[in-house]
Amino acid sequence: MNPNTDLIEYLLRLGDSALVQGQRLCEWCGRAPALEEELALMNVGLDLVGQARNWLEYAAELLSDGRDADHLAFRRDERAYRNLLLVEQPNGDYAVTITKQFLFDAWHFQVLHGLTGSSDERVAGIAAKALKEVTYHLRRSAEWVERLGDGTEESHKRMLAAIPEVWRFTVELVNGDEIEQRLFEAGIAPNPAELAAAWKAKVADVFASATLPLPEPASYFYLSGKRGLHTEHLGLLLAEMQFLQRAYPDATW
């Protein structure tokens, strides 16, 4: 067994979640409600893809089996992906996209903030660079939640409909597993319990400002992206994202 098995799994979770969320945001290209929003969404998406490359490159080095970051991104099947279930969900309308982005950003910020103190210098360095970008991501999505939630009657109604559509998938954001616990004990990853508490506090604060009700904590979902058990949406996303690389494997330009 690879002595870095836990770390590899964790790196794949971070990289896959960033990659899939970035892919979802890029689906808004040419469809966003305003030009400024399209540019903002594309920038956030590109930030996440860049972060994904950094995590996957490190994972590939630790795997040391001949695969690189591109191979991990474009040649793995759905069951080998370790992204959060939340990020693979369809964009829906703009209220759904913003709600999903905010819930992810609030989690992502806390994770990266914790990882900047990692005993693994490579992890700490990647996290510190990504944190600068995600600080902006969180500020932007939180402001949009407040703007839509406490905006017009129509925007408030759409936010009320969006929250339950994605809330059940937040169970993975607050429930750590044995891999995360072992990495915390090794000084590599942050404390899962503290991450969950910080995420809950941030979400509660923004929802209150947005005049939106805070749902009861999600406690169970029968699938788990961390274990490769995904919803039907990830396979469709990967089929589109991976088509060229699978159709022309090892092609060079």
Question: Does 1 have pLDDT greater than 70?
Answer: no
Q: Which domain holds residue 231?
A: 5-247
Q: Has residue 164 been placed in a domain? A: yes
Q: pTM of the full predicted structure?
A: 0.96
Q: Has residue 169 been placed in a domain? A: yes
Q: Has residue 135 been placed in a domain? A: yes
Q: Has residue 234 been placed in a domain? A: yes
Interval 148-166: pLDDT, tens: 999 999 999 999 999 999 9
Q: Has residue 72 been placed in a domain? A: yes
pLDDT exceeding 90 applies to what percent of the chain? Answer: 89
Q: Residue 244's beta-bridge partner residues?
A: none
Interval 84-137: pLDDT, tens: 999 999 999 999 999 999 999 999 999 999 999 999 999 999 999 999 999 999
Work out how many domains the chain is built from and give that number: 1
Q: Has residue 108 been placed in a domain? A: yes
pLDDT exceeding 70 applies to what percent of the chain? Answer: 100
Q: Has residue 127 been placed in a domain? A: yes
- Return the closest-CA partner of residue 97 out of 33, 13, 50: 33
Q: Has residue 252 been placed in a domain? A: no
CATH number at residue 61: 1.20.1260.10
